Structure 1
Amino acid sequence: MHKLTFEKIYQSNKNLVYNLALQYVQNIEDAEEITQDVFLSVYDKLDTFQNKSKVSTWIYKITIHKCLDFIKAKKAKKRFGFITSLWDEKPDLPKGELVNFDHPGVLMEHKESLQELFGIINTLNEKQKTVIILTKIEEKSVSETAEIMDLSPKAVESLLQRAKNNIRTKGNY
């Protein structure tokens, strides 16, 4: 068995990490920041990887956790900014919840509908959002998704069904 090196892991997974982060945050700069955070964690934890799963599964898990942490931190910062603005003389009221949709490769004519769809996906709970991203965008099988999320395939199928129903309910899909 050949030894895992950080350079090999980085070269073979940098696009996977960046693209997955981009699915979560829909913003190039944020995805780049998350990608850096992921590989810092990989570098720090490389000696703890035990080959019980594929490296890509391990990378997916780290990336998902980093994305969810990033989103939580951004929401907390937004809430704090809104609360402090209540004491300002000229408060900036928060604008609608349309996401900042900065995603390369999206044709301009599709940008608005995709922006709306990702806005709806972003309202899903973390597990439903993750299952939609992994199965529908990353095109992972139910069993791969179950392994990445540490769930049973039945639980993934159930989450996927609820996520689809929520998307249909909130939009015209």
Structure 2
Amino acid sequence: MTKQEFEKIYQDNFSVVYRYLLKICQDQHLAEELTSVTFFKAINNIDKFEGKCTITSWLCQIAKYSYYSYLRKNKRLVELNSIIEQMDTNSDMEEQLIDSMTSKEIHKVVDGLEEPYKKVFHLRIFQELSFKQIASIFGKTENWACVTYHRARNKVRERMEEKK
């Protein structure tokens, strides 16, 4: 890959990766640092990109794992109450789950989703992408993105109820 090709990938995807990380970590400086780490890892591993997903999805996955690596190194847990709040929850049971579950347990539930539910959920919640944008990333229809997100959200709810 030429320098110009990677610069185009960087320009096209920087804001998406940064917003994704900012939403996850809620820290502007950390999001900036991890965005740099993400693109550094991407340029060093571009030969491993198989094209099974979009370059944006691949970069977001690198970003996510870079963040998890940061958390492990710093032994911090992330508060993910915002994820639950954005799931349009309002029942007492779900509010109790927000209060009682640790962020590590919530991470496990979300990361335990099958593909494409996990990616669609992350794109919708963490990156705040529209269904149209998600559909574009996957090369699917907007309706597909909406249905897939709602199924993912329901799976998260079900698994959280099971843990309770």
The TM-score by the shorter chain falls in which range? 0.5 to 0.7
Is 2:154 the partner of 1:161? yes
Residue 117 of structure 1, CA deviation: 4.4
TM-score, normalised to structure 1, is 0.53
Residue of structure 1 in register with 2:124 after alignment: 135
Residue of structure 2 in register with 1:125 after alignment: 107
TM-score, normalised to structure 2, is 0.55
- 1:5 is paired with a residue whose SS is helix
Choose between structure 1 and 2: higher helix proportion.
Answer: 2
Give the direction of change, closer, same or farther, for the CA distance of 1:52–1:115 in structure 2 (3 Å limit).
closer
**Gaps in structure 2 of 5+ consecutive residues:** 87-97, 112-117, 139-146
CA distance in 1 between counterparts of 2:11 and 2:110 reads 29
- 2:30 is paired with a residue whose SS is helix
Q: How many residues align?
A: 127
Query: Sequence identity, in percent?
Result: 21
- 1:52 is paired with a residue whose SS is coil
Is the contact between residue 20 and residue 138 of structure 1 (CA under 8 Å) also seen in structure 2? no
Residue 23 of structure 1, CA deviation: 1.2
Residue of structure 2 in register with 1:90 after alignment: none
The code of the aligned residue for 1:125 comes to H
Residue of structure 1 in register with 2:57 after alignment: 57
Point out the structure with max Rg over C-alpha: 1
The code of the aligned residue for 2:51 comes to N
Alignment of 1:1-173 (within 5 A): 5-74=5-74, 76=75, 78=76, 117=85, 120=98, 123=103, 124-128=106-110, 132-136=121-125, 137-139=128-130, 141=134, 159-164=152-157, 166=160
The code of the aligned residue for 2:124 comes to T
Give the direction of change, closer, same or farther, for the CA distance of 1:161–1:114 in structure 2 (3 Å limit).
closer
Residue of structure 1 in register with 2:115 after alignment: none
Is the contact between residue 25 and residue 71 of structure 1 (CA under 8 Å) also seen in structure 2? no
**Gaps in structure 1 of 5+ consecutive residues:** 79-96, 100-112, 146-153
Give the direction of change, closer, same or farther, for the CA distance of 1:156–1:59 in structure 2 (3 Å limit).
same
- 1:19 is paired with a residue whose SS is helix
